[in-house]
Chains A and B, each alone.
Chain A
Amino acid sequence: MSRDTALVSADWAEKNLETPGVVFVEVDEDTSAYDGGHIPGAVKIDWKKDLQDPVRRDFVDQEQFGRLLSERGIGNDDLVVLYGGNNNWFAAYAYWYFKLYGHGEVKLLDGGRKKWELDARPYSKDVPSRPATSYTASAPDLSIRAFRDEVVQAIGVQNLVDVRSPDEFAGRLLAPAHLPQEQSQRAGHIPTALSVPWSKAANEDGTFKSDDELAKIYGDAGLDGSKDTIAYCRIGERSSHTWFVLKELLGQQNVKNYDGSWTEYGSLIGVPIALGDEPGKA
């Protein structure tokens, strides 16, 4: 994978809004953003309603994902271009699903909604009507999804990358600073995890930094290229952003996203936790 196969620029997007076989998809948690104006022709996916199982604590399964894309009028052969707010966190999270369920061509819009807004590009409030398809999702590719037991086993063995803010890593905050802090799970990080906030990988306008800059950031942080890597955050969407950088932009093999992330790990009984700014010992 590389930048050419995984990203499109805002310029490319604006020129291809009506290209047949290209589907723009806005992915947000707060879908009022889409309703207030979106990239013309884009359909929306709601991070919570559409991508999470309504009952079990897990995300949609193979059949549910296929049904969702069929309803949205997305075909297996379409080039899907994902974008969203929050510096593409949720778009990167959806990108990871598309890969997990074996979609052929999927890309992220570099800079997402923010770059589109700062460039003063056009929005539309029209909701496109796309005829339903019969989308077939593949069995999940678990080589890119980490579960809690393998995360515990990875302590001191694999690269663990904690992409939350430094205060969350150290245990001084339990959630990003735009959310109220009351939560009951323990604070801190997985011992031996490197602290590389997702934001290191992005420019101020939400676009990704250059490959050289990215390679230096993770190299300087101590990421060992010879080892497998697991990225995590609080709920798995910021770590999808970093997973995207490591796997899709830098082309590293064996990178997994731990979507259970800190809300799961920090609630497990008996697992080791490190506090403070240092990775800590295995």
Chain B
Amino acid sequence: MTDLTGCAAPDQSAPLPASVDLEKETVITGIVNNADGEAVGGAYVRLLDSSGEFTAEVVTSPEGVFRFFAAPGTWTLRALSRHGNGDLSVDATRGVNEVGLSVAA
């Protein structure tokens, strides 16, 4: 299949499509929270590889949810938002990797 789907991120809060094979995919997903523990929608979350290079960026859903399809290994998540910024290192393995990401001014 040569899909003419663009590079923009799909709906971040939608359930994982049935076509996603969790035997093969490495999904990194989670919620961005502010200092008060409230979910932050509209935050920009980027995935950086082990050398710090930009790999992808998504905008969180109104519920603060983000999701990446990566590969096993070490990644850095970085969030920018109106409520401040935050970073998190993730050692991802095949399947779903759930994380929490806090931002603060």
Contacts and interface: CB of A to CB of B under 8 A. Distances in A.
Do the two chains bind? Answer: yes
B7 A181 contact: no
Contact of B69 (A165, A179, A234, A238): A179
B42 A177 contact: no
Contacts of B4: 48, 52, 57, 235, 263
A178 B21 contact: no
A114 interface: yes
Given A118-B80, A165-B55, A263-B4, A180 B20 contact: yes
Interface residues of A, number: 45
B11 A30 contact: yes
Interface in A53-98: 57, 85-87, 89-90
A179 B12 CA distance: 11
A50 interface: no
Given A204-B80, A267-B2, A30 B8 contact: yes
A150 interface: no
Contact of B80 (A90, A120, A205): A205
Contacts of A118: 44, 80-82
B56 interface: yes
Interface residues of B, number: 39
B53 A165 contact: yes
A87 B55 contact: no
Given A85-B59, A178-B69, A235-B4, A167 B49 contact: yes
Interface string A172-209: 11011111111111000000000001010000110000
B25 A181 contact: yes
A176 B70 CA distance: 9
Contact of B8 (A90, A120, A182): A90
A178 B6 contact: no
B101 interface: no
17 contacts: A28-B8, A29-B6, A87-B57, A114-B80, A165-B53, A165-B54, A165-B55, A177-B68, A178-B9, A179-B7, A179-B69, A183-B1, A183-B3, A185-B2, A197-B54, A233-B7, A263-B4
Interface of A: 28-30, 32-33, 47-48, 52, 57, 85-87, 89-90, 114, 117-118, 120, 165-167, 172-173, 175-185, 197, 199, 204-205, 233-235, 237-238, 263, 267
